[in-house]
């Protein structure tokens, strides 16, 4: 992500790549991968994938005048064992940072939805704009627009036209440049292999629409099509296997390694859920966000996906405030208990009240003494 969200922890350095160091070509021509995987009857792929982690398509953005501005990442040859250690038994948490899958056509890193965060001025040309780590990329972009004004956002720090960026180059959303992403009426092809050995497919189900029954991990059970890559590596069509889809809503790629029965079950896999809340303005309104919690929707329920209020001042930088909520999801006892509130003079309301009563008692004693002296 913007602050450098690191590489996957399931890779080891390899010397198998033809070139093992240097810059990746911005036109995608230096991408190299070697896939030696087999697909089991249960839909789980096993074997190894070696990649130099270069993008297999042009990396850059269209700038003013429609000119393509190329960018570069660095060659880093790694080998990945599938399934990766620690992810053989599911359900289990997917990596919050770093690779959680690798594209089948180019060996490119596929990340989850979250940015590592931007410090003030890092992603805006006017020196403003922040984004907390653990916020998904589109929401982060919307916050930067609210903070800085759209004309001041440095989109070179955000996703390119293929939904990737940074070094190592990695995707945060649908791998649209790796397949015909428009709905054709067919099930989308295999686009990546997850670290748990399951396949990640594109946006569409076999009926030409997005699948309607994805769990909070972004997976479901059903048929998948056969696949052959550019190097002639083939995998057969399979029926009734659990697999993942990319999506146009978060988590966009993979939330967790499933299956899971509910958002609640997904959240139990991540100690980062329900502990780090931030409140901020976006271009659409105010947001209350549970950072680094990739459990967004299942069975008609949603979490962490809505704008709380449209009442935000767009164009002025807003501060993020972290909150800690109780396990029940409500406010802490200190928030509910007026006796613990702090007054303007630094005293708690109980201390302030006690001081006021003591002052009144002193006045009454003085008044009584004066009356007795007069009489």
The residue ranking higher by pLDDT, 73 or 358, is 73
Structure tokens at 242: 């659990």
pLDDT digits (tens, 9 = 90+) for 114-163: 999 999 999 999 999 999 999 999 999 999 999 999 999 998 889 998 99
Report the pLDDT value the prediction gives residue 277, as an integer from 0 to 100: 94
Strand ranges across the sheet with 11-13: 11-13, 78-82, 45-51, 33-39
Report the pLDDT value the prediction gives residue 5, as an integer from 0 to 100: 41
For residue 236, count other CB atoms closer than 10 A to its CB. 10
Report the pLDDT value the prediction gives residue 307, as an integer from 0 to 100: 83
Contact 114, 133 (CB under 8 A): yes
Instruction: Please state the separation of Cα 361 from the chain's center in Å.
Output: 59
pLDDT digits (tens, 9 = 90+) for 15-46: 999 999 999 999 999 999 999 999 999 999 99
Out of 181-185, 290-294, 332-336, pick the least confident.
332-336
Structure tokens at 85: 């250690």
Report the pLDDT value the prediction gives residue 9, as an integer from 0 to 100: 57
The pLDDT > 70 percentage for the chain reads 79
Alpha carbon distance 63, 229 (integer Å): 32
The mean pLDDT value for 94-110 works out to 96
Beta bridge partners of 33: 51
User: What DSSP line would sit under 280-347, residue for residue?
Assistant: EE-SS-EEEEETT----EETTEE-S---SBS---TTS----EEE---TTSS--HHHH-GGGPBPTTS-
Out of 4-18, 69-83, 135-149, pick the least confident.
4-18
Structure tokens at 134: 């653990």
Reported confidence tier of residue 311, pLDDT bands at 50, 70, 90: confident
For residue 34, count other CB atoms closer than 10 A to its CB. 16
Strand ranges across the sheet with 219-224: 164-165, 170-171, 109-110, 101-103, 190-194, 199-201, 238-245, 219-224
**Torsion (CA) 365, 366, 368, 370 in degrees, nearest 10:** 160
pLDDT of 340 strictly over 60: no
Report the pLDDT value the prediction gives residue 67, as an integer from 0 to 100: 62
pLDDT of 315 strictly over 60: no
Alpha carbon distance 204, 185 (integer Å): 8
pLDDT digits (tens, 9 = 90+) for 171-205: 999 999 999 877 678 899 999 999 999 999 999 99
Q: Report which secondary-structure segment, H or E, holds 201.
A: strand 199-201
Report the pLDDT value the prediction gives residue 7, as an integer from 0 to 100: 41
Q: Report which secondary-structure segment, H or E, holds 202.
A: none
Report the pLDDT value the prediction gives residue 324, as an integer from 0 to 100: 35
Out of 109-123, 271-285, 341-355, pick the least confident.
341-355
Q: Report which secondary-structure segment, H or E, holds 272.
A: none
106, exposed or middle or buried, with CB in 10 Å at 0-12, 13-18, 19+?
Answer: buried
Instruction: Please state the separation of Cα 249 from the chain's center in Å.
Output: 11
Q: Report which secondary-structure segment, H or E, holds 349.
A: helix 349-374
Q: If you compute the radius of gyration of the chain from its CA atoms, what whole number of angstroms results?
A: 27
Contact 202, 210 (CB under 8 A): no
pLDDT digits (tens, 9 = 90+) for 43-63: 999 999 999 999 999 998 766
Structure tokens at 136: 């998904």
The mean pLDDT value for 105-112 works out to 96
Instruction: Please state the separation of Cα 116 from the chain's center in Å.
Output: 9
The mean pLDDT value for 319-327 works out to 39
Evaluate the omega torsion of the peptide bond into residue 181 and state whether it is cis, within 30 degrees of 0. Answer: no
């Amino acid at each position: 992500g913007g602050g450098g969200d690191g590489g996957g922890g399931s890779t080891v350095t390899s010397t198998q790549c033809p070139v093992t160091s240097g810059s990746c070509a911005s036109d995608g021509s230096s991408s190299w991968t070697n896939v030696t995987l087999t697909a089991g009857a249960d839909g789980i792929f096993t074997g190894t994938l070696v990649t130099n982690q270069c993008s297999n398509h042009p990396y850059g953005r269209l700038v003013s005048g429609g000119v393509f501005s190329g960018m570069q990442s660095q060659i880093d040859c790694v080998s990945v064992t599938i399934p990766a250690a620690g992810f053989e038994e599911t359900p289990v948490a997917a990596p919050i940072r770093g690779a959680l899958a690798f594209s089948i056509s180019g060996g490119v890193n596929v990340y989850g939805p979250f940015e590592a965060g931007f410090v003030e001025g890092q992603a805006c040309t006017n020196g403003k704009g922040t984004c907390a780590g653990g916020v998904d990329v589109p929401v982060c972009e919307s916050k930067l627009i609210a903070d800085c004004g759209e004309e001041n956002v440095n989109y070179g720090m955000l996703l390119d036209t293929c939904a990737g960026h940074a070094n190592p180059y990695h995707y945060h959303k649908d791998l649209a440049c790796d397949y015909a992403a428009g709905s054709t009426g067919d099930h989308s092809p295999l686009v990546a292999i997850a670290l748990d050995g399951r396949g990640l497919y594109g946006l569409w189900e076999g009926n030409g629409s997005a699948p309607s029954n994805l769990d909070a991990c972004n997976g479901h059970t059903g048929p998948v099509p056969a696949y052959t890559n550019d190097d002639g590596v083939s995998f057969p069509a399979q029926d009734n296997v659990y697999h993942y889809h990319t999506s146009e809503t978060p988590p966009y790629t993979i939330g967790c390694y499933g299956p899971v029965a509910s958002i609640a079950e997904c959240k139990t896999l991540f100690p980062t859920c329900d502990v780090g809340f931030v409140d901020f303005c976006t271009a659409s309104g105010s947001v209350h966000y549970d950072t680094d919690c990739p459990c967004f929707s299942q069975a008609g329920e949603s979490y962490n996906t809505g704008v709380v209020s449209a009442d935000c001042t767009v164009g002025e930088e807003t501060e993020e405030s972290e909150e800690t909520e109780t396990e029940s999801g409500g406010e802490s006892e200190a928030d509910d208990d007026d006796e613990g509130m702090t007054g303007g003079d630094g005293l708690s309301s109980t201390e302030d009240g006690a001081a006021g009563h003591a002052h009144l008692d002193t006045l009454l004693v003085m008044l009584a003494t004066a009356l007795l002296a007069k009489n």
